[in-house]
Amino acid sequence: MTIPRTIATLGLFAILSCTAPAFAHGGDETVTPNFEQTIPNLPGKSLIAVEVDYPPGGASVPHVHAKSGFIYAYVVSGSIESKVNEGKTKVYKAGESWSEPPGARHSISRNTSETEPAKLLAVFVVDTDDKALTTPIK
């Protein structure tokens, strides 16, 4: 199965099974739970997907991710500028993706457009007990 097909499948499962409301993470973005499932062949691990919607010019506050969380991020629409840990700042366009290691520090995550919204799908593999996927950096 290709990555885009996997993402589409996750989205379909989310539409059929998730009813949680959207919530904000302290920035301009809106984060909507999309999918959550324990992984049967990886005891103690869960797969969690969230949609992150950025309004025009919107950005997330700098944050860290769960220490156990491996993340796959896929830009659904628009373009998003991202900087993870000490890596280079990069702009990702719709259809592009990246990954983040456990405990990643995300100093930049923002919509590059001042006129169009942007959306990404973030898929986490985390310890089932980790409930805080992101924590603002103070």
Does the pLDDT at position 8 exceed 70? Answer: no
What CA–CA distance (Å, rounded) separates 59 from 120?
12
Number of domains in the chain: 1
What is the model's pLDDT at position 26? 60
CA distances from 30 to 14, 53, 54 (A): 17, 5, 7
pLDDT digits (tens, 9 = 90+) for 66-108: 999 999 999 999 999 999 999 999 999 999 999 999 989 999 9
What is the structure's pLDDT at 2? 52
Confidence label for 123 from pLDDT (cuts 50, 70 and 90): very high
pLDDT per residue over 13-36, tens digit each?
Answer: 333 333 333 344 567 899 999 999
Task: Look at residue 25 in the predicted model and tell me its pLDDT.
Answer: 54
Cα distances (angstroms) measured from residue 36 to each of 55, 62, 101, 125, 131:
25, 24, 19, 10, 11
Is beta strand 30-38 parallel, antiparallel or unpaired with respect to 70-77?
Answer: unpaired
What is the spatial order of strands in the sheet that 23-24 belongs to? 23-24, 30-38, 45-54, 118-127, 70-77, 97-100
CATH number, domain of 67, equals: 2.60.120.10
Higher pLDDT, 138 or 94: 94
pLDDT class of 130 with cuts at 50, 70, 90: confident
Which domain does 32 fall in, by range? 3-136
* Neighbouring residues of 102: CB distance < 8 A, sequence distance ≥ 6: 65, 66, 67, 68, 69, 70
Distance CA 6, CA 33 (A): 17
Give the per-residue pLDDT at 27.
79
Whole-number pLDDT of residue 126: 96
